[in-house]
Amino acid sequence: MSPPDAPIPYARIAGRARRGSSSPDPGLLGPMLEDAWCSAYSRACRHEPRIIRFTDHGFTFLFDLIPPSTPVSGPESDDRIVAVYGLSVSPTAARDASRMTGFPGGGICIAGKGRFDKGHFMAHSMGGGLDANLFPQRAPLNRGWSTPGKRFRVMETYLAEHPGTFAFARPLYGDGSWVPEYLEYGLLRPDGTLWVERFRN
Structure-derived torsion over alpha carbons of residues 188, 90, 108, 114, reported in degrees to the nearest 10: 30
Cis peptide before 91 (omega within 30 of 0): no
Neighbours of 27 (CB within 10 A): 9
Per-residue pLDDT of the chain (201 residues; tens, 9 = 90+): 555 566 899 999 999 999 878 899 999 999 999 999 999 999 998 888 999 999 999 999 999 997 666 555 554 578 999 999 999 999 876 555 555 455 554 567 776 787 899 999 999 999 999 899 999 999 999 999 999 999 999 999 999 999 999 999 999 999 888 999 999 999 999 999 999 999 999
Q: Give the gyration radius of the chain's Cα atoms.
A: 16
Neighbours of 48 (CB within 10 A): 11
* This prediction's pTM: 0.87
**Contact 99/131 with Cβ under 8 angstroms?**
no
Q: What is the largest CA-CA distance in the chain?
A: 51
pLDDT of 113 reads 80
Read off the DSSP letter of residue 132: G
Half-sphere exposure at residue 49, Cβ-oriented, CA atoms within 13 angstroms: 20
pLDDT of 150 reads 97
What does the domain layout of the chain look like in residue ranges?
Answer: 10-200
Residues 6+ apart with CB under 8 A from 7: none
Distances (CA, A) of 38 to 110, 127, 180: 26, 24, 16
Angle (nearest 5°) at CA 99 between 150 and 118: 30
pLDDT of 109 reads 73
pLDDT of 96 reads 53
